[in-house]
Structures are given as structure tokens and as C-alpha cells.
Structure 1
């Protein structure tokens, strides 16, 4: 059985009146609707007096007193007064009417005396009784009508509240027939599934329910109809009109008619799509956290700081080889290595007090095996800053610690071997340097002898022919060249030995002084030289002086063929590193041959072009490298050359790495 569609206007109809003439219907409607209590007492009594007086005047004017029917018009006045003013007004009209009748219409007229007292008694008594009955009847009808009106108003108010509750509910609401037909739906439900109300009222709930959820819903519905349950709740899916899924929580109650037979269902529908999505996201996140913790080998845990109760999450205690997932502080202290307990406790309480972040490495004893753990924690605090809970992770770093110990042992062994090999190399290097110095020094004496004898033969025999004289000159020239080469070797040996003594050095002052010396030594040269002021560094003063002497000497030499020679000494910053540069506009060189530039006795120009042995730049490179710096050159044939160097390790360069 299905209920009829309820009246949706929210207003109950007025009860129908008996079929009669329009005038009678209006009168009875007025009479039944009379509510004397809504009017003031003096107004009701005044109206009763006026009606009574008008009725008495009408009686006197219509017929003489002897014609009879003295109380007819006055009875009508009592009715009207009672209807308008209630019982009090009706009684007043009755008493006043009786006085008027007995005064004006009963002999002797204009007095309250009676010719026939018995007749007057019966007439007045009967009139009084009938009027009391009329007054009582009208009052009773008015009271019943008032109760009926109050009941109707309460029913209308209840209906309005019901309709407001149904339509304005924050959830979807439906009335559903026993066969699944949607009898009534509110706007919230329409918005939830995207269908207009008119279309939904021509559908069944099965039409918009996901096929996989229909069986569960219908099964519970049939149980309710069979009397096995009066209501049920389930989660299911609706199809929105545009095709997407709407998850809902459905609460259904069965309504029965007056005979106790199933009538229809009331359903409350809550949209839980976002809740479902959130729960799914949480489950996915939890699963990912479990997998991440398992892959990373992390054990996660929480601590209730009020009880110092530790509990691992996601069964992660198994990753650490622990047999339980809940611990007390005493349990953890007992597992900790005795040598680490005090430090672990101290660091923990510093973290709890907020004095430092909690990160600690400590050893634990599990099944007799010593293992290393790395623990980190963050603390949740109340409004006063007191720590109330902690969340942390623990990582088994036993393998890493064992590897570190092995590395430390290897490093110690390697350092010892390096020290030993370095000592051997230093001894071999010193021996080689001493040997080179000794050889170079010992070669000087035979060269002097050769050169001396050749010169003596030339002086003693001026009559030698030209070829002989030329051979003697070549012997002396070769011996002098050999001597210069030996001097170069000794010079290289000198700059490679000895301890480096760093001190503040003014590059500007040294460069300016050497340029002035070169100007005095070559008075015929016009060289435009400039030195940037304020160039300073920390280096060995003697070695820096030799370095500048070589670079400025080269610049002076290779600008000899320029009509206007220019030499410039300046500094620059490259990637935070201080560089010093010597630039000239001399002969320059081909950068494709720059690999030979800093090698001993290698020259990029013919001996006839510029004098020299090719030892100056090799010496300069050795001086720079002894300071841990770098020297670089840039040039092009005929466009001069620029040599830049540092006297400290270049950041990121080989020197700094060494």
C-alpha cells in the first residue's frame, strides 16, 4: 500500500460547512468562528446591552403588548449577545430583556407589578430556562470550535515544521514506496544526484543505485517489510546524472499504517564522497608509509611522555629484530649498551625540554648481539610548551658502523703506509736534489778548465788559420753555454729545496722596484710600465721576488722589438680567487705550443731572436706550485702575452684538492 501524495502547500483546509443557502453558511461560519475571549469584557457587555435594547425596541414597534410573543425578539438578542460576547454577555442580555419585557409589555405597564403573578412566573421561568440552555449550547459549541481551531492550527504548525524539516534538512531525505518508487524527495537529495524533482518522482531508487549495491539494499528492505528489523543503515553508491559516483550513508526506517501494515520508507541520505576519498587517501598514505618504512628499514614509534610508554607503528619493531611493539623506559634502558645509557638519557631529556633536537646513535644488545641504532624524534607540545608526545624513527646502522670501523682501520693503515712512502720519497728526492747539485757543481770545474785552455791557445797562437780560430771560439762559446745551463739547474734545485716561509708581501712594491731596476739597466729602452697599487699576499718574500723577476724580465725581453713597449702589473678576482697578472705587448707565442712553455730549457722562439736558456718560466711555475697556486698564460703571435698566477690553492682546482 502506498500513501497518497501529501498536500505540499503546508496549509490544512477549513472543515466543510453543511449545505444550505449562502446567507446561512455565512452566519454559521461567523457563529462558529466567534471567539469571545479575544474581546474585552466591557466591550462584550456593552454590545449585549445594545443588542438587547434594539431587540426590545423592535418588539415594541412591531406589535402591541397584548399580541403575545413578548420574548421572541429578545431571545434572538440573547443568541447574538452570547455568540458575540460569550456566556456573561448572554446572561446580561437575558436578565435585561426580562426586565424590559416585564416593565413595558406586562400589565400594569411601566411597572414591575403583575396582574397575574402565576402567569408571569411561568412565562419568565420558561424564558429563563430556555435562554440558559441556548447560552450553554452556544458556549459549548464555541469551546469545541476553539479546541478544534487550536488543534487545526497545531496540525498546520506541525505540518509546516515537518515540511521545513524535510525540505531544509542538511541531508537528503526521501519517502520510498515498498516497491522502491520515490514518493517524495527534498531539494538536497535532488542536488546530490543531479536530477530534477519531477524526474526523480517517476523513478525507483534502483534506477540510480550502483548495480553492485542494489542487492544489499533490497535485502535489508525486505527484512524490514518482513518484520525482522524496523530500520537499517548502510553505505552505498549512487550514479550522479552526469555519470560520476556519489558515495552515501543511507539510514532507512519503515513507516506502518494504522493497521500495522508496512506503508512506506523514510530515508535519510548523507553524502560521504569526500569522506570516502579522504579515507582512501589515508589508507593509501598509510600503505605507502608502511612500504617506505619497510624499504628504508625504518622503525617508527610514538611515546606518551606522561607515562613514558613507547609503541612502534606498523609492526615496524620486527625490522629491528625486536620481539614486542610496546616498551617502557626501563625496557629500553635495559637493552641499551651500558656505555651509552647515560649519554642517551641525557640527549633524550634535552630534546624533551626543547634544548636541542633529538638525534642520537647508540648501541643495543639484542639476543646477545651488539647492534647500532640511529634514532630521531620530534615532540608535540601543549600551549605552555610542555612536551606531551613524541614521534620518532629508528634506523639500524650496524652495517654502516662496522663499515666505518673497517674504513677507520684501513685509513690508519693507509696513513701509516703513506707516511712511510712519503718519508722514502722525501729521502729519495733530497738525495736526487743533492746529487743534481753535486753533479752540476762538479761540472763547473772541467768547463772552466776547457774554456781557460781554449782561451789560452787563442791568445798564445794568434797565427792560427781562420778555421782553427773559429773552432776555438766555438769551444769557448759552448763551454760558456754549458755553464749557463748548469747555473739554471742549480737555480731550479735552489728553488725546489728549503722550507717555505710565508709572510706579508707587497706585490706592487716588488714589481715597481724591479721595473725601476730594469729601466736603469737599459737606459736606451723606452718602456711604458704601470703597476696597480695595493697588491698584497701571504707568501715567501724571496721566492715571490724571484717569480716577479722572471716574469718581468721576460716581458722586458720580448717587448724589445716593439716601437712603444708596454708592461702592466695588475690584479683580478675570479670566482672569489685573487690572481696577479703581468701583461705585455711583446712578441707573444702560439698557444698550440703552450704545453712546452713551463718545461725547463724549452723555448718558443729561435735563439737568434731573443736571448735566454728557457729556464725562467720553469722556475716561475715551480715557485707558484710550491705555494699551492696555479700559473696560466694567454697569448697570440705578435699580440703580447699575459701571465697570471695565484699564490694560494685555487678553489676546486687540483692544488686545492691536493
Structure 2
């Protein structure tokens, strides 16, 4: 500063204050004069107030402690204590302030003392620069990098950069993970990278692909094998691009590498399955008409089982259509496959192929848009066996019906002469009463007894011939009512022994022909009485139990029991374990037939001779 004569002079204190005020007010950063020991603002410029959203007047009523974030305040105060103690001459740090609206403002704070060394500390100068935008950018960048790393980790995708002039190679974290290498122990260089793939033929192929891509200035790609630290073989897929200067010279090559080991192994497994599977497989391209409706299917690939099951060779069907190879294919089959191709819904069906004279079970599905896959198996033998079985069943049913008619006819026709025989025996007995030798009367009694037994046998045969059909339409019948009716019919027989009868309460309901269902319980109870043996306290229990989803009905006795080797035999026609026992041996055969025509099954539970027997049966639709 000069006077009027041009002589340089020192500025006055008023002039220095004016310059300070001008700089203080106009500077682009926030500036404040602060009482060092209290933190109160003495003077503050407009920019400082703007950073925090206050007016200058409002700021002059605050302290720096009030605007400093609670988590940053202690570091700020610690630096102030060191400044006041003369341990440091200034300090700078990044910290957070509270904006007037409650948001956070990041600032770069520089604090300098306004007292000279040796003077008593009074004021300090605080200069703040708003760095909120920079902090937000840094945070967004960190988050973006974190998301990129996470995306690469999830996709098993890494990136790399090769500086051609220096030979340096940079890998992202994921590349190290793909090759199962430790960044602290492995330095990526061209030689060390090639050593990861110890197959010369792969190197030559990859080199050719890279040179071709660089020559065309286009993006290139290749898949390569690599050897893991444990000796396992992995697969990776690389995409790369050259980086060039303004003169077109190659500076670097950058690219990505993705671990495709699992995909490649799955593909190998698929190829193995494709080749080894027993089912035939064919992949087709969908052929459409002008309206977009599928009208035919072109073969894209078939497996060896296709050749074996159809007799057609892969080379013969290549690029041919289904109708070209099998012109007799019915329209309904084409329509079914077309629906699969349009809707994507799989379909299964059995079909006969006239040109091949074979039956197949076919499943069709859509593996990709405009494609159709068919899996099939040859069921010709099964179909023919089913047809033979149906024919055999039909013949057996016809023969069985004929046998039933024969049994009914014979039984019915024999009853008439039997009645005549019985009548004449009666007349002859009356005529000889009191006359003739005693042996004649004995012979007549034996003839009469034989005729009675023959009559019983004929009645049972007639009944057996009727069992093949239900007499009445099915109805819901309470089992308790069936048991009561059976006990009533057998009352006289039960009272002769006498037998203790125990009937379980709350028995379920059976659905079926009431008359036939009654015969089941009547015959089973009668059989238990018949084979009770010399039991001092004869007892019969009738009840039901749950066994999984089924209701098992039973008639249990404490009679003579049945050895396991005879338990199936008792249901045979005319089979009696005791030839001296009364009856014809048809009763249990009748029960078995009745249970079976109701769709059920019957069996015996017995621990053996002298341990009693339990006859169990199941009939569906029990309630």
C-alpha cells in the first residue's frame, strides 16, 4: 500500500480489518471466528451459514458443539484440547454437521488459532468446505462396486484386464474364486494362467480365436478347461475385446470369465442320459401353417433308444418330418402334439403306429419355444398280453357262467328224483313197520340219512350257483342289525351248547346286498359253533377294528383253532378239516365268494391247534 508520493507504507489496523472483512464475507468456503474455550461463534460468514441452512444471525446464537454430529464431537473436542495446550498448531478433519432441517452435512474442517505463540488462547478460525456431494458419490460408488462384486459372485462371473505392453494382468476377486486361487499366493501372468490349462490343443485353439477376434476388431469368446488345485477339471467361458489407441494400435485386452463347470457337467450328464436312457427320445422343430397352427414336426435329434424302439435310423430321420417318416400318423395325434406346442402343457397317451405295427406310451412336452420333445417306450408286448388276458378273462367268465348254469340245472333236476326216493322210503317204512327183519329197518334209515345229506348238498350247490350275482341293489346296512338277525336265525343252535356271545358296541355300517351280507355273519358264527370242540366255556366275539384306512370285521372264537398250513384250505369248496363234522364243506366257500363279489377279501388269524380262530374280512365303502 502506498501514500500519495508513491512511498510504500504499512496498512493501518482499520485497513487490515477492512480487507479481512471483505475476504471473510466473499470467500467461497465457510469461515467463522470462534471463542476457543466455549465454542461460541463471534463472527461467521454467509457461506458458513448457507452450508447449514441458517442465517448468519441464527448461527451467531449457536456453538460449534451444537452443530457437530454426536459421533464426531469427541474427536473435535480432543483436537481443541491439544490446540489449547500448544501440542498442535492446527488440525483438519472430515466430520458431520447437523443441518437446520435435520439432515447430515459432511464438511472438511480446518481449525487455526488466532493467537500468537506464547499468548493466551482466545479465538480460533474455523474454515469448512461442504463435501456432502463427494461423500454421497463415494458411498454410491462403494455400493455400486459392492453390488457388482455380489452380482459377479452370484453369477460366478469375473472380469480381467491384460496390458499388452507391460504384460500385467489384473483379475477381479471372482476370477480368483473361479480358479480356486489365493490372491496372496498367485500372480496372474500369461505363463501362470496358461499353466492352469495344461492342454496344448486348447492353447492353440484359444490363440487362434483371440487372433481372429483382434484382427476383426470384434468381440470374441471361447470356452476352456482348467485344472483345479484338487486335480478336478473345471470349465470357464470368456468374452474378450481389444482396447486400441487413436492410431489403432492394440493397448490391452479386457474381458470377462464365467464359471460354467456345473452347466457343462449337467450337459455331460444330459448327453449320457440321452445316450443311455432306455426310453426313446426325439426333439422336433414345430412346423406351422399360415395361421400359426402346428401341422407337422421336423426331427432335430433322436437318441439310440429311438432307433432301437422304432427301427428308424438317426441319419434317415435327420431333417425329415414326422409325417414324412410315418405318413399314416392320425390327425388326432398331430392335434394333441400341436396343443402341447401351443399351450406348453405336457400330454401323455398310448398309441398304435400302423407303419411300425407297434404300441407306444408317449409323453410330449415343450422344452423351448417352437420345439417339441417326445419321450416314448414300446409297450407292444404289454398291450398284447393285456389283450390276451382280457380274452382269457372273457373265456373264463363264459365258462364260469356255463358251470354255474350247469350246477344249478343239475342240482335243481336232482331234487325231483330225490324227493321221490324220500317219498318211497317213507312208504316202505310204513309198510314194513312191525314186519320183516330188523336189518331191513336199519338199511332204510341209512338210505334216508344218505338222501337227507344229498338234499343238503344239492341245496348248498344251488346256493353256490346263485352267489355269482347280487340279489338286491347295494344299500347301507348297520352291522349291528346284521349280527342281530344272524344270532336270531342261529338261536336254537347257540342255546344247545350254550355259547357266550360278545358283540362290540357301535359297529360301523356296511354297504352291499343285505341278504348276502347276512349270510357272511350267519355262516361265520355257525362255523365257530361247529368247530368249538370240547371247550368248557365256549365264547364267540363279533366286532370291528381300524387298520390304516380300512375297517376289518371279525368273528373270533376260542374253539379248536386252525394250523397255519390249513388256513387257506378251509375256504375251498367241499373242504372240511374234520370229515366227521356236520355240513357239506360249502359254507366258508360261500362266504369267500360273497366277500369277493363285494370287492373285499377274507382271511384267518389263528395261533394253531387249540388256540381258537378269528375270521377277518374287509369290504370297501364301510362307514
The structure number with the bigger radius of gyration is: 1
Higher fraction of strand: 2
TM-score, L = length of structure 2:
0.50
